[in-house]
Amino acid sequence: MNYIEQYIPIFPLNTVLFSGTSIEINIFEDRYKKLYEEVMKNNRYLGIFCIQEGFEAYAELPIPYEFGTLAKVYHSQNIFFSDSDFHILIDVIGIKKIKLLYYYESSEHFYYGNILTIDDNTQVENITDKEKETFLKEAKMYLDSQNIELSHNLNKDNLILLCHLTLKYLKIPLSEKQKLWEYFSFEKRWKETLKILKQKNLIIKSIQNQISVHDKNLN
């Protein structure tokens, strides 16, 4: 694995950002508006870390997990409610995994951190076409059940993006998503995600069957 050390603003959030996926962040606190200014000075790069302990807003700065994601702002806009009251909406995309070496609270009351960017083992050669098709089928089944339309992005030939997009919308605890993100082997992350998908789809199918039987009995 290759390691590159960097020094960037850190944004702790109640989310796990996977590489290749994007999120929208609503910035309304003054400290994070200052963070945004620093991010734009830093070639639009920042570190997104899931919160391990504490609260996202209007509280002391929370404690982040050790592993997070290097992200880049690709779009932003100001939403004004008055001349002095405004929010900043930013869209960021996850680039790669990072490890937080240390961090501190800046004079503007947001975190700066020293991070290492980490290149995961993303080999998929051991995953067969049949296994990729199975994953695609399970992913589509689950996302359809959640009314999430991502068909144009779902492609077995880009298994890493497919897996990470699925994880973005998978309804599991953040601690589980964090654990999956911390795996240094994509193959292990993919296998665990497929196992969770199959379990979720079995439960969903069982519930749908029960509803169907109930509706027939009513008729």
Q: Where in the chain is the domain with CATH 2.30.130.40?
A: 3-118
Q: Which of 185, 180, 137 is nearest to 162 (CA)?
A: 137
* Residues in contact with 107: Cβ distance below 8 Å, sequence separation at least 6, in sequence order: none
Q: Is the separation of the CB atoms in 25 and 11 below 8 Å?
A: yes
Tokens 């169907």 sit at which residue? 212
Q: Is the separation of the CB atoms in 69 and 97 below 8 Å?
A: yes
> What confidence tier does 201 reach under pLDDT thresholds 50, 70, 90?
very high
The model's pLDDT over 11-41, given as tens digits with 9 standing for 90+, comes to: 999 999 999 999 999 999 999 999 999 999 8
- What is the DSSP annotation of the chain? --EEEEEEEEEEESS-PPTT-EEEEEE-SHHHHHHHHHHHHTTTEEEEEEEEES-SSSSSPPEEPSEEEEEEEEEEEEEESSSS-EEEEEEEEEEEEEEEEEEEE-TTSSEEEEEEEE--B---TTS-HHHHHHHHHHHHHHHHHTT---GGG--TTSHHHHHHHHHHH--S-HHHHHHHHH-SBHHHHHHHHHHHHHHHHHHHHHHHHHHHHHHHHH-
Q: CB atoms < 10 A from the CB of 12, how many?
A: 24
Q: Is the separation of the CB atoms in 25 and 186 below 8 Å?
A: no
The model's pLDDT over 92-139, given as tens digits with 9 standing for 90+, comes to: 999 999 999 999 999 999 999 999 998 877 778 889 999 999 999 999
CATH class of 3-118: mainly beta
Tokens 């680039």 sit at which residue? 95
Residue 218 has pLDDT above 70, yes or no: no
Report the predicted TM-score, pTM, of the whole model to 2 decimal places: 0.90
